[in-house]
Structure 1
Amino acid sequence: MARYTGPKTKIARKFGEAIYGDDKAFEKRNYPPGQHGANKRRGKQSEYAIQLMEKQKAKYTYGVLERQFRNMFKKATAAPGITGEVLLQLCESRLDNVVYRMGISPSRSGARQLVSHRHITVNGEIVNIPSYQLKAGDVVAVREKSKSLEAIQNSLANSSSVYEWITWNNDTKQGTYVSVPARVQIPENINEQFIVELYSK
């Protein structure tokens, strides 16, 4: 299964923001990686470089590789609405992302693993495909046998995020993907317009 498994702080430093969540190493050295680090004089970035950086940031944030991301862009282009907004909504509708948003896992990579290892159900059926696209009204739950998993319990105990498009019941360990989030509800710092411009060239 292809995915990025390299050092996360290096990627966070590359983009200048902690895209993988709290990161003590990033806080200590929040300048670009490399031999010259903070002292390197960086010239003005070209338009293409800025657009590419934004696309890579989105891909690393959601844990999606190029082919999958391009396919999502094609789907977003064909769908009604603003392409960039629809693209982010498709990313947010992925099962691994919703598991992460619900607080079942502290990270998207952890959420991906829970889905792959058959700990998550959608509408009562086990789904082990992290990229599974949820629809409004779908019920996501922790499988009965997995409710006692320490990793899940710890994550839920430390989770405090609340999103308007998701409901979560901690007693039954299940939540509902109420609706597709509007752009203003998506907290990620991504300029989707740059991604649209890059793919439209």
Structure 2
Amino acid sequence: MARYTGPKSKIARKFREPIFGPDKALEKKNYPPGQHGPSKRRGKQSEYAIQLLEKQKAKYTYGVLERQFSNLFVKAAAKQGITGENFLKLLEARLDNVVYRLGIATTRAAARQLVSHKHITVNGNVVNIPSYSIRPGDVIAVRERSQALEAISNSVAGRTINKYGWLEWDAKGLTGKFLTYPERADIPENIKENLIVELYSK
């Protein structure tokens, strides 16, 4: 399946959460899209449906396709520790997500575009693969000839203090460092990873 390019408000309403950022449409219509509106006829969801919905929410939040998602889960399951937490840590370590967390881009979609268009380097080398896995100690930077791009300068200008303790940011050099994998409690996304684990365990 190709990456979703339709209305983001429709997806946010499906999950009843602003997974793509503040959304006025969600505020006005905080119920799933569809011709029946906020009807009580929407039946009680099965356990499988709830688990599947949580998986879809994680996929849309991080912008990951089905095959990438399942491959990452297999990788998380093979690691020591709690599978669900390992899974979220691997999602957070994707290059496009790290670029977004550092404030170089305002959204994950914009971060993916910057990476794909070769505006980002990792340890001094240009990397144009959004799914590239960052490791502790890696240095992520805006390519020197790309630092004047309006999209990047506007995003960095609107950046507040460093909100994420697992990342280090140098505003002067437009470089960031991935210090360590984040702890589950530090990841702000409202994802119930245990439901995803249960779904894949069937």
Output the amino acid matched with 2:102. M
Q: Are 2:98 and 1:98 equivalent residues in the alignment?
A: yes
Deviation at 1:11, TM superposition (A): 0.4
2:29 maps to 29
2:196 maps to 195
Output the amino acid matched with 2:83. T
SS at match of 1:176: strand
Q: Are 2:173 and 1:172 equivalent residues in the alignment?
A: yes
1:63 maps to 63
Q: Structure 1 residues 26-35 or 82-91, which shifts more?
A: 26-35
1:148 maps to 148
2-structure distance, mates of 1:4, 1:103: 23
Structure 2 residues without counterparts, runs of 5 or longer: none
Output the amino acid matched with 1:179. T
1:109 maps to 109
1-structure distance, mates of 2:130, 2:148: 21
2-structure distance, mates of 1:162, 1:104: 13
- Aligned-pair identity in percent equals 68
2-structure distance, mates of 1:60, 1:26: 16
2-structure distance, mates of 1:28, 1:98: 31
Structure 1 residues without counterparts, runs of 5 or longer: none
Output the amino acid matched with 1:172. G
CA RMSD of aligned residues (A): 1.2
Deviation at 1:24, TM superposition (A): 1.9
1:45 maps to 45
2-structure distance, mates of 1:53, 1:148: 40
TM-score normalised according to structure 2 size: 0.96
Deviation at 1:73, TM superposition (A): 0.6
Q: Which runs of 4+ in 1 moved over 3 A?
A: none
SS at match of 1:167: strand
2:131 maps to 131
1-structure distance, mates of 2:145, 2:41: 55
Deviation at 1:40, TM superposition (A): 4.2
1:184 maps to 185
SS at match of 2:38: helix
Aligned length: 201
Deviation at 1:6, TM superposition (A): 1.2
- Cα deviation per residue 1:44-91 (whole Å; 9 max; x = unaligned)? 211101100000000000000111100001101111110000010010
2-structure distance, mates of 1:41, 1:20: 28
Output the amino acid matched with 1:195. I
